[in-house]
Amino acid sequence: MLNVPASEIAHRIVNFQSLLAREGVDAAIIRQNADLYYFTGTVQDAHLIVPASGQPLFLVRRDVQRAEQQSPIRPVVALQTMKDLPPAVAQACGDRPPQRLGMELDVLPANAFFFYDEKLFPNSRLWISVCWCARCA
């Protein structure tokens, strides 16, 4: 796998944060492999939390060491259980739960959507952008 330059990843994150702020979205959770690679430079079972302002947080389910080798995103944190996701998102949002939370609803399976919407983030409104990439943002 090719290493994506840290400066390119940083540029993509900044542009995305600008889109989130413009749309009034507190944070986004990136799950889909192509989007994970675009924003982190690695593909694995992970959640990238991108707040509208501040530092992103990369939560990895399996291989934290590989994520640290392949991605310039810091911190990389082991995600032990999905119950750890809401507090991590709140932490990335300045220790407050998000009111509007971006997700890749165009590719997220319905059963996963209901899990995030009803179980993990019942007090947040899920939001989607047609395209996450910097060219379209």
Which of 130, 43, 120 lies closest to 88 in space, CA to CA?
120
HSE (CB half, 13 Å, CA atoms) of 33?
3
pLDDT (0 to 100) of residue 114: 87
Backbone angles phi, psi at 49, to 5 degrees: -100, 120
| Structure confidence by residue, pLDDT tens digits, 14-28 | 999 999 999 899 999
| Structure confidence by residue, pLDDT tens digits, 52-110 | 999 999 999 989 999 999 999 999 999 999 999 999 999 999 988 888 998 887 888 88
Domains delineated in the chain: 6-127 (3.40.350.10)
pLDDT (0 to 100) of residue 130: 43
Q: Which two tokens stand for residue 60?
A: 């990895």
pLDDT (0 to 100) of residue 135: 45
pLDDT (0 to 100) of residue 129: 53
Cα 39 to Cα 3, 13, 89, 115: the distances in Å are 12, 7, 17, 24
Backbone angles phi, psi at 58, to 5 degrees: -110, 110
pTM of the model: 0.88
Which of 85, 87, 67, 84 lies closest to 76 in space, CA to CA?
67
For residue 127, pLDDT over 80 is answered with no
